[in-house]
Amino acid sequence: MNRQPLFTLVLFSIIILGGFYHFAAQDSPKSPMEDAFLEMGQKSNWSVAAEPRVFEKIDLLEFDKDIFDYLTEYEVERVFRGSFYTAKDSLLLLVSLFKLPSQIEAFGFYSIDKTPSLNFMEIGYQSFLLRKKLVSWYSSYVLYTEITDTLPDREKYLKDFAQEFIRLLPKKKKNTPILDCLPEKQRVKFSEKFYMRHWLDQEFFRNIYYADYYTSAGYSRIFIIDNLNTETADSNFWKYRNYMKLYSAVVSDTLQIQTDYFAVNDPLWGLTIMAKKNKIIYGVIDYHDKKWAEERLSELLNELKKRNIVKSG
C-alpha cells in the first residue's frame, strides 16, 4: 500500500501549523533544548518538519490538559514540541522534550506510565516502549518520541532517533543517591518510582521513593521518604503513628530495627513498618515475613549511611 499521499498531507499540515510558532527569545543565546532540536535537523537523516513550539510554565495546560496535574506536580519548567520527518522512508516523528528541575523529578515524571511488564531499553539512563511512543529519561530531561505510522519496525526508528537526540543533550552522570539506596535483593526490576507528594493517603508526605519486592509469600513495597530536615521527619512520623493508632491494630512484636519504628496491621496496606532516622522516614508495606522485612530495612539503612544521607550510629 502506498503511504506517500497520506504522509505528504500530514507533513504539509504540520509545516503550515508550525509556521505560526517561533522559538522564544530568538535574540538570546540558545538553550540546550533548542540546540538539540536544531542540530538533530542538521546532522542526522531527519529533517525538522516545523519549528518546535515552546511551552513555558504558564502554558502547560495548553500543552496537554490530560497530564497537566503531572506537569505541575513534577514542576516541569519547559516543554519543546516539534516534529521530524525523513523523506527517504516517508516517516514522521512527533517529539516532546521536557525539562525538569532535577534528575529525580525527571525520573518521577518519566515513571508515570512505567510498569515492569513494558519493553525497556538502555537509551539515555532508561527508556521504555509504550505502544507507538518511546519514553526516555536522561539527566533532568524526559523525551517522548512517537511515530505516526504502524510499521512493524517502528521500534527501530524510535530507538535510533532517541539515541541520536539524547547524545545532543548536555552530558551528565546519573545522580539519584536516595533512589539508589532501595535494596536490590528480590526487587522487581523496573518497579522503582518517585512521587513528589501523597503517600499512604497522607498529603503531608513528600518526596517518596519506592520499589516492589517479590518473595514466595507475595509482593511487598519498600519506601523511603526524604523530609529534607529532621524536624519535619519527626513531625510526620509521629503524626502518622497517631493517625494509625485510631484506625489500625498496633503490632506488638519486637522487631530488629536499628532506629525508631512502629508497626501496624493496616486494613488497606497490610502489615506495615515505618521507621525514622534523621530526615529520612523509611519502611515496608504489606510484608509477609518479619525476618525478611528486618533484613531489607537493615540493608536500606546501611546504604543511607554509606552515602551520608543519614548519620552513622
| Residue 224, pLDDT above cutoff 90 | yes
Helical packing angle, 154-166 and 32-43, nearest 10°: 130
pLDDT on residue 35: 84
User: According to the model, what pLDDT value does residue 88 have?
Assistant: 74
Residue 11 has pLDDT above 70, yes or no: no
C-alpha atoms less than 13 angstroms from C-alpha of 140 in its C-beta half-sphere: 13
In the chain, which segments carry CATH 3.40.1000.20?
179-306
pLDDT score for 38: 81
Q: How confident is the model over 268-287, as pLDDT tens digits? A: 889 999 999 999 999 999 99
CATH of 179-306, one of 3.40.1000.20, 3.30.70.120, 3.30.360.10, 3.30.70.20: 3.40.1000.20
Span 63-99, pLDDT tens digits? 999 999 999 999 999 999 999 988 776 788 999 999 9
The DSSP line for the chain is: ---HHHHHHHHHHHHHHHTT---SSTTSPPPHHHHHHHHHHHHSS-EEEEEEEEEEGGGHHHH-GGGHHHHHHTT--EEEEEEEEETTTTEEEEEEEEE-SSHHHHHHHHTTT--TTSEEE-STTEEEEETTEEEEEETTEEEEEEESS--TTHHHHHHHHHHHHHTTSPP-----TTGGGS--TTBPTT--EEEEEEETTEEEEEEEEEEEEEETTEEEEEEEEE-SSHHHHHHHHHHHHHHHHHHSEEP------SSEEEEEEETTTEEEEEEEETTEEEEEES-S-HHHHHHHHHHHHHHHHHTTSS---
| pLDDT surpasses 60 at 206 | yes
Q: Is the pTM value of this prediction over 0.75?
A: yes
pLDDT of residue 30: 62
Q: Check pLDDT > 50 for residue 129.
A: yes
Least confident stretch, 12-21, 121-130, 212-221: 12-21
Residue 163 is placed in which grid cell? Answer: 539515541
Q: Which pLDDT tens digit goes with each residue over 157-186?
A: 999 999 999 999 999 999 999 999 999 999
Sequence-distant (6+) residues with CB within 8 A of 68 are: 60, 61
CATH 3.40.1000 fits 4-166, yes or no: yes
Out of 78-82, 263-267, 289-293, 295-299, least confident range: 263-267
Retrieve residue 265's grid coordinates.
496491621
CA distance 254 to 301: 18
